Amino acid sequence: MSGAEIGLALSVFLACAVEAVEALTIVLAVGATRSWSSALSGVGAATLALAAIVAALGGALTALPIDVLRVLVGGLLLIFGLQWLRKAILRSAGLKAKHDELETFREETEAARAAGARHSGFDGYAFTVSCKGVLLEGLEVVFIVLTFGASQHRVPLAAAAAGLAVLLVIVAGVMARAPLARVPENAMKLAVGVMLSSFGMFWGAEGAGASWPGNDAALLVIIPGVLVAANAMAWALRRVTGPASTGQSVPGERADQATASA
């Protein structure tokens, strides 16, 4: 496996694991409160829809000429990755609330209880909420699988990395029987933002006709460079906001307070 392929698999794995943790919280909440069978039916329906999108768009994307594909995919990945990075930096500085799976679980559980009486048999609420949750979280993963996979012509590798991440999260969720609150989601999101932005920059420039010094080896400088720059920006922002602002973060975020270790 080449360095770019390892980067592809790692990026997709991390992004998918983060989204799967968030989707798992929603499914656990509606499943435990309402109906497991209906919640799992919703998961199945959303998974089928996501797989269909990957199958349909994956083939279409890989049919594009490589330079067109790379400039298109690179640009999209970069725009998308910069969003992830910006949010991660703002969370690190306490200017944006961090994800707290226990809090989300509590909110979803309350909403499920407040949704009215449960009828025996199929529960439309549990089906809809879990289907929508998995679909929305999964769309970001599909986007990353398609863009990373297509630009390397390795959609199956990207899909396998995504599948492995989902499997691990499901196993961990079944074993814990609770939301995975100790997963360092925010640090993982910073790492995903760094990878998306780095690969987006690399492929976008190549697609536009640029030649990187050292070709693929340039990624060994680009990825750490983006990580250092993001951490420097987070550090500078924390110095301006001061320790008081970090107190706004919601509970359960201590595990990944130090984004510098991402």
Partner 1 sequence: MKRVNGFFLGAWEFVVGDDWRTAIGVVLALALTALLAQAAVSDWWVMPLAVLGLLALSIRRAARGAWRSHASLPISPPDQ
User: Which range touches partner 1 (CB under 8 A), out of 35-43, 51-59, 98-106, 219-227?
Assistant: 219-227
Specify the stretch interacting with partner 1 by CB under 8 A; choose among 42-50, 98-106, 178-186, 235-243.
235-243
Cα–Cα dist 36/123, whole Å = 9
* Residues in region 111-150 near partner 1 by CB under 8 A: 139, 143
Task: Return the sign of the alpha-carbon dihedral for residues 259, 155, 199, 144.
Answer: negative
Binding footprint of partner 1, residue count (CB under 8 A): 43
The answer to whether residues 76 and 147 touch, using CB atoms and an 8 Å cutoff, is yes
Residue 85's Cα: distance from chain center in Å? Answer: 12
Tell me which residues in 155-214 interact with partner 1 (CB under 8 A). Answer: 197, 201, 204-205, 207-213
36 vs 42: CA distance, rounded Å: 10
C-alpha dist (Å) from residue 200 to 14, 100, 195, 197, 240 = 16, 29, 8, 5, 30
Find all residues with CB under 8 Å of 220, minimum gap 6, and list them.
3
Part of the chain binding partner 1 (CB under 8 A), chosen from 1-9, 46-54, 151-159, 224-232 = 224-232
Using CB under 8 A as the binding rule, whether residue 235 contacts partner 1 is answered as no
71 binds partner 1 (CB under 8 A): yes
Residue of 12, 89, 161, 183 that binds partner 1 (CB under 8 A): 89
Token readout for 158 is 């990207």
Distance in angstroms (rounded) separating the CA atoms of residues 136 and 46: 9
- Give dist(CA 76, CA 69) in Å, integer: 10
Mark the segment that binds partner 1 (CB under 8 A) among 99-107, 152-160, 179-187, 241-249. 241-249
Stretch that binds partner 1, among 13-21, 44-52, 92-100, 108-116 (CB under 8 A): 92-100
Cβ closest to partner 1, residue 34 vs residue 70 = 70
* DSSP state, residue 96: S
Position among 57, 66, 90, 102 found at the interface with partner 1 (CB under 8 A): 90
For position 226 contacting partner 1 by CB under 8 A, the verdict is yes
> Could you tell me which of 55, 67, 17, 80 has the C-alpha nearest to residue 203?
67
3-state secondary structure of 213: coil
Among 28, 85, 159, 181, binds partner 1 (CB under 8 A): 85
Q: Pick the closer one to partner 1 by CB: 74 or 179.
A: 74
Q: How far apart are CA 54 and CA 38, in angstroms?
A: 25
We find the least distance from the C-beta atom of residue 233 to partner 1, in angstroms, to be: 6
Q: Where do contacts with partner 1 occur on this chain (CB under 8 A)?
A: 71, 74-76, 78-80, 82-83, 85-86, 89-90, 93, 95-96, 139, 143, 197, 201, 204-205, 207-213, 218, 222, 225-226, 229-230, 233, 237, 240-242, 244-245, 248
